[in-house]
A = this chain, B = another copy of it.
Amino acid sequence: MDLQKRIDRGLERAITFATAGGQPAKIGAAMRHAVFPGGARVRPRLCLAVALASGDRHPEAADAAAAAIELLHCASLVHDDLPCFDDADIRRGKPSVHAAYGEPIAVLTGDALIVLAFETLARECSAAPDRTAPLIATIARAVGMPNGITAGQAWESEPEIDLRHYHRSKTGALFTGATAAGAIAAGADPQNWYALGEALGAAYQVADDLRDSAADIDEIGKPCGQDAAHQRPNAVAELGLTGAISLLQETVQNAADAIPECKGSSMLRDLILAEAKRLVPKKLAQSAA
Contact = CB atoms under 8 A, between A and B. Distances in A.
Contacts of A18: 144-146
A116 B146 CA distance: 10
Contacts of A85: 104, 107
**Oligomeric state, in copies:** 2
A288 interface: no
Contacts of A151: 24, 27, 112
A229 interface: no
Nearest to A79: B107
Contacts of A114: 111, 114-115
Q: Is the interface of A mostly helix, strand, loop or mixed?
A: helix
Interface stretch (A125-133, A210-218, A257-265): A125-133
Contacts of A75: 111
Contacts of A278: none
A118 B105 CA distance: 23
Contacts of A148: 115
Contacts of A137: 119, 122-123
Given A107-B84, A153-B108, A28 B129 contact: no
A255 B105 CA distance: 33
Interface of A: 18-21, 23-28, 31, 75, 79, 82, 84-85, 101-105, 107-108, 110-112, 114-116, 118-119, 121-123, 125-126, 129-130, 132-134, 136-137, 140-141, 143-146, 148, 150-151, 153-158, 162, 165
